Structure 1
Amino acid sequence: YYLIQNVQPSSNGVVYVPILKWSDSSNWTQYALSNVIVWPGNSSVPPTSHAVLSSINLRIGVIESSPFTIISYIVDEKGQTTTKLIGYIPELIDLLQTRMGFIPEVILAPSDQTYDGLIDSVANGLYDLVIGDVTVTAKRRKIVSFSNSIFDNSLCIVMRDTLPEDVNLISYLKPFSLKLWIVVLISVIYASVLVYLLERQDNESLQDRSIISSLAMSIWYSIGNVMGYGADMQPSTAAGRFLTVGLYVLSLVLVATYTANLMSNITISKSANIISGIDDIKKGKLPFSHIGIRIGTAGEDYYLQEISRQSRNFYPLKSQQEQYDSLLSGVIDATLMDVGAAEYITDNVYCNLTLVGAGFDNSVFGIVFRKNWLYEQDLDVNILSLRESGSLDRLKVKWFQTNKCPASYSILSDISVGIGTIGGLFVTFAAISILSLLLFAWTRRLLIKDILFKLIRRKVSSIEQNPSDTTHSTKTRKVSRLSQRSSFNVVHF
């Protein structure tokens, strides 16, 4: 036997008046004809509108996730530290409270709580509401209900921002190993000695020269042919020509190999990220064990359904902070995140993290409540009102349109070869040119010495000549003045 009682106000508080009864019959029957149902507002007429949250106590669960919910620590004048929740979600709760008049009890979820765990907490009655960056999914809708959208969302890929390498002045030598360069140098010297021995007597370019000069010409000839340029000296003997064929073959292979390896090194050094979007992850261009996925999130659901086909071959992460720490330490190379939080973090907190590719798996965030919740309509109406008035857009601008990181550049956008890549080549050329000038000065040392000697003698001669000219001029002026005096005396005698 069961009764349904109506809660009615009275002078002593409230009374519970039986309205319907049920015993062995299959339907509820009226308990007494004299008992009248009193509806909210002390009215006998059933309400036609929805239930409202005014003066209703609500246990609201939130989860730390910048910039949606940020824990701020405040130290007062006495040195005591208190915590305060700031961010998009706390301000949204304040807006809803102002409009609807409910009494909030905000509860911060444990740091190891997953988003799926929050869903279960609402279903089990631990929270009346969960407000945060909770994605609406089909799997979750089977357990709880969601409000209208409070934030438009999509997933994105976050990776470390590859920093430009330090300038390496000998990077142009990297195509060959040190041992190979030594072998090439020995081969050039060996070929130079052979050219000297084979061509010394018959080649006009080597005749009438000292041994050092002839060896230098032979080295010049060998280097020119090994580098594929050639030399102005031509072999005169059959043995010399045959040796030249060997130098040509050596040049053909070395130049082709060097060019290919140099271009390969440049291409690798200019590739900032080995993937450009979610399609590259699906194609396996990044090892799955190097992809970090936060468990209990919509990102995990997407990965299992669209990428791994239910294989949990990713690197599991438990919190948002662990995602950032694992990326920065190199434990993982990429992670899937909600675009709102990812943009905020990469623009304001971790400037060496970056978003790669376009967003994917578009979705929305909604407020979580249990199924058939009495105040669902009241909540949805007020959320729509906030959206229509622009309040949600203003909150989004305040918390997401900030940028504290310095302006950066995308390495992928510029694939031109910079001075840092082959700068050492120009330094080497400058050193060779200086050595060439010194060598030229040494070979012309007698001529330069003679020119300098003549310039010094000319300067000394001009210095010696100036005093004699000055003395002669002084004497001339004295004689002139004496002549003028004599002439004056004669006239007036």
Structure 2
Amino acid sequence: NAKLIGILTIEPVVASAVNEPTNTTLLNAAYDIWQQYEPETFPGAENVNAYALFTFDATWLLIRSLEQLCSITNNHSSSCLSIVNDSFCFNRRLLDSSSLFDIINNNTFLGVSGLVQFSANSTDRVSGIYYIVKNIQSLSNELNYVPVLVWSSLDAWTPHSQQNTIIWPGQSLVAPTGYATIAGVILRIAVIEAPPFTMTQQVADTNGIITTKLVGYIPDLLAILQTNMGFIPNITLLPANQSYDGLIDDVANHVYDMVAGDVTILAERREQVSFTDSIYDNSLRIIVRNTASASPDFWFYLRPFSLEVRLCILGSIILSAILTYLFERNANDVLRHKSFLSKIVMSIWYPLGTIMGFGVDYSVRTGAGRFLTFSVFFLSLVLISTYQATLTSNLTLRQTQNIISGIDDIKNGKIPYGRIGIVTNSSIEAYYLQEISNGIRNFYPLRTEQAIFTSLLSKVIDAAIMDEGVLEYETSSNYCNLTLVGTGFDPSAFGIVFQKNWVYEQVLDVNILSLRESGTINNLKSK
């Protein structure tokens, strides 16, 4: 029983309980009628429940209002209580219901529970409302309800009396500070499968029994929070196709106490639920197919030289072959005894071999032939240097060039909007509609994050927008043929979702902030 000491309870009371006026004449008349017709049920004036008095005043107000309504409509031929009949009882209604409501709103009287007055703008009484706070205290080794505070529409909360003070838990007269403890409380926590934040892993114990274990950033964070706060987690793993907006609705409708994952903090979502401080600083990135993963074709290696340059090289070889024939056909022992066709072939072979750099199997003998050899060799050096530099530049450009360079290219329509993949019912969709398409859903809809990668690889889409952490993990671990382009944009934050006005909000926020200040959050990111 000692654990109950300090508990506060609040309940509505009648005006007489707080020394406010009531209609004692009406109350005594009601008690007399009660004792006359049902004396066996009358508990005594001191034991009549306050809710019975509220009910009496409501009934008395209805009687007074109906009486007034009938006095107004008495001259009409129809009955003042004409009711539309229907086989279904809830469809029956009073014809002059609007007049009755007006009378009720204008009917003010002193009832047995206090002043009774209603308004069209409220379903509760606008005056004569009183609450009392009682404190469980130990008096003479017995627990007692002691009234300590009184509330009325005029005075708000005031002490009930100078003698009655609040006894707090532990028999203390000092009001406790801090926040509600969450230790030992079972929390229904939903997590959504989204690498690297939440993943599943098959683990075998010493008996060879295989179980599924949650791994990743979020399970590690929850484990630390559980250790520090002492709550008991009841974790539900949701499939990857679960919509993020649906998770917000589930928390608002008390399906879960918390949702932990890559849930972006948005102003629109804050209207339904609350968020902790950031557990992960995020931004958006664009992912595309890696153009460097495609093998260059054969003609790619001929592209360093334009068609004009290739024709000039061919012309140089032909001219050099003619001059070699003219200079060396009689002076060179190798060519002198050959047939005409052989002389032509060997004359072509000489400048071709010199340009390619692998040499030929005979040497020139004339001065003109030597000068021609020097010229062809110099041309070979120029061509080889130019080819190597241009080919290197083209290969480097091929490895770094993508169809877009960042978010500005998407905004400018460099690729068709129907070729951009967006996960529906997510914060990315909200960003796209607001910043890119002006509210038009012209993107390619995707149900899950995994669909981003499969759609890119199958060339259904050309680009997709997603959270930076997810894309960096997938491209570095699973999809080397996909790459990120541009820098991060639309910075945001992930937070743990919980219900509005949650009793454990402060203790959760304090622990999240403590993990950020101590560097634990950063350590989890780099893990």
Work out whether the TM-score is over 0.5.
yes
Question: Quick check: 2:202–2:213 contact (8 Å CA) kept in 1?
Answer: yes
Residue 377 of structure 2 corresponds to none
Distance 2:392 2:518 in 1: 57
Match of 2:130 in 1: 29
Amino acid at match of 1:319: T
Q: 3-state SS of the aligned residue for 1:59? A: strand
Say yes or no: does 1:47 pair with 2:176. Answer: yes
Contact 2:188 2:257 in 1 (8 A): yes
Q: Of residues 490, 494, 509 in structure 2, which corresponds to 1:361?
A: 490
What CA deviation, in whole Å up to 9, does each residue of 1:118-138 have, x standing for no partner? 111111111111111111111
Match of 2:427 in 1: 298
Question: Per the alignment, do residues 268 and 380 of structure 1 end up closer, same or farther by CA in structure 2, a change over 3 Å counting?
Answer: closer
Q: Which runs of no fewer than 5 residues in structure 2 stay unpaired? A: 15-53, 55-115, 117-124, 135-144, 149-165, 320-325, 331-335, 350-367, 369-390
Matched, 1:325 2:454: yes
> Is the Cα contact below 8 Å between 2:9 and 2:133 reproduced in 1?
no
Deviations 1:289-329 (CA, angstroms, capped at 9, x unpaired): 22111112211111111111111111111112212222222
Question: Taking structure 1 as reference, are residues 161 and 43 closer, same or farther at Cα in structure 2, changes over 3 Å only?
Answer: farther
CA distance in 2, matches of 1:70, 1:40: 46
Looking at structure 2, the residues matched to 102 and 19 of structure 1 have their Cα atoms a distance apart, in angstroms, of: 31
1:215-273 CA-partner distances (Å, limit 9, x unpaired): 989999xxxxxxxxxxx9xxxxxxxxxxxxxxxxxxxxxxxxxxxxx999989856631
State which of 468, 477, 481 in structure 2 corresponds to 1:348: 477
TM-score by length of 2: 0.54
How far residue 88 of structure 1 moved from its aligned partner, in angstroms, is 1.2
Aligned residue in 2 for 1:395: 524
Q: CA deviation at 1:55?
A: 2.2
Q: 1:166 to 1:108 in 2, by over 3 A?
A: closer
Note if contact 2:7-2:168 (Cα within 8 Å) is conserved in structure 1: no
Give the drift of 1:168.
4.6
> 1:273 and 1:394 mapped to 2: Cα distance?
33
How large is the Cα RMSD of the aligned pairs?
4.6
Q: Residue 19 of structure 1 contacts residue 35 of structure 1 at CA under 8 Å; is this kept in 2?
A: no
Q: Given the alignment, which residue of 207, 212, 219 partners 1:83? A: 212
Deviations 1:417-441 (A, max 9, x none): xxxxxxxxxxxxxxxxxxxxxxxxx
Structure 1 pair 309/18, CA: closer, same or farther in 2 (3 Å)?
Answer: closer
SS of 1:302 mapped into structure 2: helix
CA distance in structure 2 between the aligned counterparts of 1:110 and 1:397, rounded to whole angstroms? 25
Cα 1:66/1:263, change in 2 over 3 Å: closer
Residue identity in the other structure for 1:103: I
CA distance in 1, matches of 2:228, 2:423: 35
In the aligned structure 1, how far is the partner of 2:167 from the partner of 2:448? 47
Report how far residue 161 of structure 1 moved: 2.0
Q: How does 1:58-457 map to 2 (within 5 A)?
A: 58-76=187-205, 79-166=208-295, 168-171=297-300, 269=398, 272-398=401-527
Q: CA offset at residue 396 of structure 1?
A: 1.4
Gap change, CA 1:40 and 1:145, over 3 Å in 2: farther
Evaluate the alpha carbon distance shift between residue 79 and residue 88 of structure 1 in structure 2; reply closer, same or farther with a 3 A threshold.
same
2:226 maps to amino acid: Q
Report the equivalent of 2:151. none
Distance 2:7 2:294 in 1: 79
Compared with structure 1, are the counterparts of its residues 295 and 36 closer, same or farther at alpha carbon in structure 2 (3 Å cutoff)? Answer: same
Q: Do the aligned partners of residues 212 and 115 (structure 1) sit closer, same or farther apart at CA in structure 2, a change above 3 Å counting?
A: same
- Distance (Å, rounded) in 1 between the aligned partners of 2:133 and 2:298: 99
Query: What corresponds to 2:356 in structure 1?
Result: none
> What residue number does 2:360 align with?
none
